[in-house]
Amino acid sequence: MPQAGQIPQVPPVPLALSRPVQRRMFGIPAGYEVQMHSHDWVQFTYASAGIMQVLTERHSYLLPPQCALWIPPGVQHTAFSEQALAFRGLYLDAAVLPGARRDCAVLQVTPLVRELIERVSHFPADYPDDGPQARLLQVLVDELQGLAEAPFSLPLPSDPRLRRITDALQVEPGDNRTLEQWAQQVGASRRTLVRLFQAQTQLSFREWRQRLRLLAALPLLAQGMSVTRLANELGYDSVSAFIGLFQRHYGKTPGVYAASLGM
């Protein structure tokens, strides 16, 4: 991370890889937005500090410090964080991933992978292709391919009427308007919206909004918001109901989760 008073400089995205595994290690200032782009290689996006949001055309992903995002070649994506980030990314050429096929997914970063990433962050950009640094990077790549998925993604619909609803709710997750009210707003029948939500997100409207709110809770917890205020902000009538849903989805209460972020 930069020294106090310094604004970190985000390096430009390279046009080509200089090595089969190219590390991307830098600080990202609070409020910085990466413009929509894609790569010809796999990107492993990880921030050792801060919570990052990554958007593709079909999904919204939230990355707390213990998680990363696997982005396949050709996937358009953008990233944003309200907090300063310690970015620790990797670009992976197909040559180091023989036969590997994985969709865009949030992955649970293990302690070993976290330590390996920190180790390789100190490697020179022009490390030798046949030296110990290259071998350790290959160990890291092997470990990345075995990481389990984590529940920090939200599917986005393609229908423009649904996108009006989902875009509005991402701005204001606590909006409690019913699907009937949204149907009047976007000029479609409730039955049509029910059908499209299920077909395009594999979730009902209720399930989709619940997942959105659970994801929206994470950066607010990281900012130190109390659980009571958080439940109110996200539109829950009962704090205990919010705590129960959070624990079932993430495996820990909001308070315990906030403590794991150092709050």
Cβ partners under 8 Å of residue 20, min gap 6: 92, 93, 95, 96, 129, 134, 137
- Residue 1 has a pLDDT of 41
Q: Do domains 21-145 and 157-260 have the same CATH topology?
A: no
Residue 87 DSSP label: E
Parallel, antiparallel, or unpaired: how do β-strands 52-56 and 42-49 relate? unpaired
Nearest CA to 115 out of 136, 94, 131 is that of 136
Both structure tokens of 99 = 């036969």
CA distance 31 to 25: 18
Q: Tell me phi and psi for residue 53, to 5 degrees.
A: -110, 130
- What are the structural domain ranges in the chain? 21-145, 157-260
Rounded to 5°, the CA angle 62-63-69 comes to 100
Asked whether 102 and 70 are in contact (CB, 8 A), the reply is yes
pLDDT score for 259: 83
Are the CB atoms for 35 and 130 separated by under 8 Å? no
Taking the chain (263 residues) in runs of 10, the rounded mean pLDDT of each run is 52 82 86 88 88 91 90 92 85 83 90 92 85 91 92 93 96 95 95 96 96 92 90 93 93 87 59
**What integer pLDDT is reported at residue 166 of this predicted model?**
96
As a whole number of angstroms, the distance between CA 48 and CA 55 comes to 19
How much is the pTM? 0.84
Per-residue pLDDT at 3:
47
CATH architecture observed for domain 157-260 = Orthogonal Bundle (1.10)
Q: Which pLDDT score is estimated for 186?
A: 95
- Residue 84 confidence (pLDDT): 85
* Contact present, 235 and 173 (Cβ < 8 Å): yes
**What pLDDT is recorded for position 6?**
52
The answer to whether residues 128 and 59 touch, using CB atoms and an 8 Å cutoff, is: no
HSE, CB side, 13 Å, CA atoms: give it for residue 21: 26
| Residue type for position 46 | Y
Closest by CA position to 22, among listed 53, 44, 48, 38:
44
Helix (H, G, I), strand (E, B) or coil at 66: coil
| CATH 2.40.10.10, applies to 21-145 | no
